Amino acid sequence: EPEVTQTPSHQVTQMGQEVILRCVPISNHLYFYWYRQILGQKVEFLVSFYNNEISEKSEIFDDQFSVERPDGSNFTLKIRSTKLEDSAMYFCASSRSGDPSYEQYFGPGTRLTVT
Amino acid sequence: AQRVTQPEKLLSVFKGAPVELKCNYSYSGSPELFWYVQYSRQRLQLLLRHISRESIKGFTADLNKGETSFHLKKPFAQEEDSAMYYCALTPTGTASKLTFGTGTRLQVTL
């Protein structure tokens, strides 16, 4: 069964550095999402992406964040200048449609640690 | 704004006992409700959604619009049900960003 994959599984970076988190969505899916979960807190929506454009973003997704689908298979989340409070588990998800009747499939997550 | 509340961080039950994981939501429109589950060292996965009215692994959930609740129930808990359970909602008819609750850890003991 196809799965969403994410790399790396764990990323450690210093404050102020740029990081790129990578995701490979399921191949026939058209909608892509990033969520994050700070330790001990709820899973929070960051951004949704469709047709090479951001569909919706949360207030967390400020100018330090960007997303890209550079080559038709990867879907990346870039944090331009990391802060300590960006430390979290980042989940990528994909779905065939934006309609809620279509399941969002989640990746295993990337744990980002900012020191 | 939408919000999902799961009042219990941890629910511990004996094997064979009934389970009810509580979920309440607030949203001004008509939402779609879901339960997601995360087993130990596994990814978040959909357990069930109210629009399908299905029963998965013996779990059911009924949407009560009057009480704005979507509690997850199972008549007889099994050890393999031990996991983290998240209730989530998305507004109807939108590119569906999910709003999650804080989750409830279900621990089924012998």
pLDDT tens profile A92-105:
999 998 887 788 99
Calculate mean pLDDT across residues B60-73: 93
Is some CB atom of chain B closer than 8 A to the CB atom of A25?
Answer: no
Calculate mean pLDDT across residues B35-57: 89
Q: Which chain A positions have a beta carbon within 8 Å of B32's beta carbon? A: 100-101
Predicted pLDDT at B28: 83
Tell me how close the Cα of B76 comes to any Cα of chain A, in angstroms.
27
- CATH at B60: 2.60.40.10
- Which of B86, B96, B99, B105 is most worth mutating to test chain A (most A CB atoms within 10 A of its CB)? B96
What is the percentage of chain B residues whose pLDDT exceeds 70?
Answer: 97
- CATH at A24: 2.60.40.10
| Sequence-separated (6 or more) residues with CB below 8 Å from residue B84 | B37, B38, B103, B104, B105, B106
By residue range, what is the domain housing residue B86?
3-109
What domain count does chain A have? 1
Does residue A78 sit in helix, strand or coil? strand
By residue range, what is the domain housing residue A34?
5-98+106-114
Rama region for A84: left / alpha / beta (φ>0; ψ in -120 to 50; rest): alpha
Cβ–Cβ gap B43/A101 under 8 Å: no
